């Protein structure tokens, strides 16, 4: 349980509610909204910590919170005014999960915010719901009785029912529960050292000199796990380009591709540029690396990272690789990376809102797109070249099935054993011939990747 001071709590609760409202009604990304709020110079470190906790905590546990809330409502929660719905979620999160925030304070400030939003009637509604919950004085009150154990798993671990069912088809029950528990924890901040400008030992020493607790990552030879809370752009060495923020599993994809000096390589879906810049570093910033993305904002972010890391071998262009590339970009490549657009279900520790935004229709739409992309890019790969396919999601439809169907359509490709190309310390992160990293086993994002060679 987490304790926070009462300082400025009202303003922080209002900020949290507004963030959650936009996530709920606009499908906005919580990290972008939160980052904007955290840049407010008037917020203390304690305020920033509380705002982060309220926003992410409420999103992580929204399913369980909603089940509790619905017990005290006459009408379904989804029919409630969106601001009030999310205000009640924030209040219930505090009552259910946070210690040393007095119940009266959480309730009184929620009621005052409800009054400011909708007047006395709305305030009375919020007060009645919250007081009814407190009168029961049972933080572990269960949702209505059911014999549906999948529904119970979904509620208790705060994941949508459709996703629980899909994972139970992918893993067994014990592992599915372990995965959901891991998804409701906080993802570590991981850096990737820019090997062209520094070393892991040097950056670790630099962080230690500034009083920042950090350790070397277990699986990636270039990674650093930062244990101290800190804004990334304030870490020593960030502005000098000594490192890039990149999850540990994501770092391993570039090793799987195994780029070589002087090659011509395509990063087909490159934003925000973590893998792009790592590939360039592994090539010693030689050869030619083409980084494409269909988003102009994504291209801008890649360029920012390239400039900060002081790389010169990367060329960027705005292009949708599910369509034919222009002639200047279509000449043959030695290696191609498709870090495919995906459902992102392996990143729920960092992006808990994804589990509430996605549905089964999205999985089908994305798997169709992934197949179009890999079918398109193979025409730009040299004979003897390497194609790496990766996603940050965990389901067969976007992972194993995409590769299985691709190999059926393209007999000129063979599946390589991922273990032979990963760093020695990460060679066990495999399932058959595939790379597979899991939050509950490896303390990383959920990642899948396949490496294929063009032999015909």
Positions marked catalytic:
392
- Render the burial of 378-408: b for 16+ CB within 10 Å, e for the rest: bebbeeebbbbbbbbbbbbbbbbebbeebee
Among 266, 277, 268, CA closest to 310: 277
Q: Which helix (H) or strand (E) holds 135?
A: helix 120-136
User: Closest Cα to residue 17, out of 125, 112, 143?
Assistant: 112
- Rounded Cα distance between 325 and 335, Å, is 16
CA distances from 260 to 209, 257, 423, 427 (A): 35, 9, 15, 20
Q: Using only C-alpha atoms, what is the Rg of the chain?
A: 24
Q: Cα(267)–Cα(416) distance, rounded to whole angstroms?
A: 19
Contact (CB, 8 A) for 259 and 265: yes
Residue 296 burial (C-beta neighbours within 10 Å; 0-12, 13-18, 19+): exposed
Contacts of 335 (CB under 8 A, 6+ apart): 257, 258, 259, 263, 265, 266, 381, 385, 386, 387, 388
Nearest partner of 389 among 369, 359, 363, judged by Cα: 369
Q: State in Å, rounded, how far the first CA of the chain is from the last one.
A: 58
Separation of alpha carbons 30 and 60, rounded Å: 11
């Amino acid at each position: 349980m987490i304790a926070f001071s009462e300082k400025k709590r009202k303003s922080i609760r209002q900020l949290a509610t507004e963030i959650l409202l936009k996530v709920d009604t606009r499908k906005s990304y919580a990290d972008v909204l939160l980052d904007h709020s955290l840049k407010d110079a008037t917020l203390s470190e304690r305020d920033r910590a509380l705002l982060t906790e309220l926003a992410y905590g409420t999103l992580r546990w929204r399913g369980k919170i909603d089940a509790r809330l619905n017990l005290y409502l006459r009408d379904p929660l989804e029919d409630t005014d969106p601001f009030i719905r999310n205000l009640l979620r924030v209040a219930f999160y505090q009552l259910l999960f946070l210690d040393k925030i007095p119940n009266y304070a959480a309730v009184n400030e929620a009621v005052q915010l409800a009054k400011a939003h909708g007047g006395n009637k709305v305030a009375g509604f919020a007060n009645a719901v919250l007081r009814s919950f407190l009168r029961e004085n049972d933080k572990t009150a269960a949702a209505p009785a059911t014999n549906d154990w999948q529904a119970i798993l979904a509620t208790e671990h705060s994941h949508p029912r459709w996703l629980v069912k899909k994972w139970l088809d992918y893993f067994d029950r014990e592992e599915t529960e372990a995965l959901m528990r891991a998804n409701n924890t906080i993802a570590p901040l991981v850096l990737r050292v820019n090997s062209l400008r520094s070393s892991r030992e040097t950056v670790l020493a630099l962080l230690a000199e500034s009083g920042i607790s950090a350790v070397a990552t277990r699986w990636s030879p270039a990674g650093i796990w930062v244990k101290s809370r800190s804004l990334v752009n304030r870490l020593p060495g960030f502005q000098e380009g000594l490192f890039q923020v990149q999850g540990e599993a994501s770092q391993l994809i570039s090793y799987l591709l195994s780029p070589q000096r002087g090659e011509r390589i395509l990063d087909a879906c490159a934003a925000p540029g973590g893998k792009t810049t790592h590939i360039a570093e592994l090539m010693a910033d030689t050869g030619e690396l083409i980084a494409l993305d269909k988003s102009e904002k994504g291209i801008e972010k890649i360029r920012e990272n390239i400039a900060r890391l002081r790389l010169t071998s990367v060329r960027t262009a705005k292009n949708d690789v599910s369509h034919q590339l222009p002639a200047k970009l279509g000449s043959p490549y030695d290696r191609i990376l498709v870090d495919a657009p995906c459902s992102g279900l392996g990143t729920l520790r960092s992006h808990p809102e994804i589990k509430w935004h996605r549905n089964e229709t999205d999985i089908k739409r994305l798997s169709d797109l992934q197949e179009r992309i890999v079918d398109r890019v193979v025409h730009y790969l040299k004979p003897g070249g390497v194609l790496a396919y990766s996603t940050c999601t965990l389901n067969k439809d976007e992972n194993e099935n995409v590769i299985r169907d691709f190999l059926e359509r393209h007999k000129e490709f063979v599946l390589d054993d991922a273990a032979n190309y990963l760093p020695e310390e990460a060679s066990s992160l495999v399932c058959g011939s595939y790379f597979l990293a899991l939050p509950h086993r490896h303390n990383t994002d959920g990642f899948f990747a396949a490496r294929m060679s063009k032999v015909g």
